[in-house]
Amino acid sequence: MRQLITLCLLIAAGGTMAQQVPFGDVVSEKITNYHRHTPTLATSGTPKPGAAEELKAHGFVTVIDLRRDEEENVDIAASSQAMSAAGIRHVHLPLGKEWPSAALVGEFRTIYQDPQQGPVLMHCRSGSRAAAVWAAYRLEQGVDYEQVLLEARTIGLKPEFETALREAAGLESKKP
């Protein structure tokens, strides 16, 4: 009986762990600038070739790609194909140097809050735009500005986004 209970607990724990993103700030050399933010969300820089299989092995279901087609050395179609081949949903939400729009944050929210679409990896080239989307989402959720700023900097928010973050938090007026 004790062995049966132990086996059931191991199976149950395995099911739970498969639905959480890996802890830490390194998954592999193919997934750079990795950060785990919640049990179902991580961010990173651009996944390198071969990363799709590793992401799948770590339980990721959806990848949100914030890069734009016109960026140097970016092939969104190839990224989408690689993720699809590994059984991962690829969502393209292009973001430039501007602060994330309410519509983009809304699309992120819909994906992130849907348990069927997680765990989620959100990435851009370095992680800064992923930090901006996360920060915009967290502000929308009513999280304190200082906490949002700390989280965004941890992800890799670049200084050029910090003024926009302050504006989004209502701490700085927009310039005419």
2-168 homologous superfamily: Protein tyrosine phosphatase superfamily (3.90.190.10)
Closest by Cα among 75, 84, 78 to 55: 84
Domains of the chain by residue range: 2-168
Q: What is the DSSP letter of 31?
A: B
Contact between residue 123 and residue 55 where contact means Cβ atoms under 8 Å apart: no
Q: Which two tokens stand for residue 30?
A: 């193919």
pTM of the predicted model over 0.95 = no
**Helical axes 159-168 vs 128-140, angle rounded to 10°:** 10
Q: What secondary structure does DSSP assign to 49-68, as a single string?
A: TTHHHHHHHTT--EEEE---
Instruction: Tell whether omega for the bond before 100 is within 30 degrees of 0, i.e. cis.
Output: no
Identify residue 137 by its one-letter amino acid code.
Y
Each residue's pLDDT expressed in tens, for the chain with a length of 176 residues:
444 333 333 333 333 334 765 555 556 777 888 888 888 899 988 888 889 998 998 889 999 999 998 888 888 999 999 999 999 999 999 999 899 999 999 999 999 999 999 899 999 988 899 999 999 999 999 999 999 999 999 888 998 889 889 998 888 655 54
Contact between residue 129 and residue 138 where contact means Cβ atoms under 8 Å apart: no
What SS3 state is found at 35?
A: strand
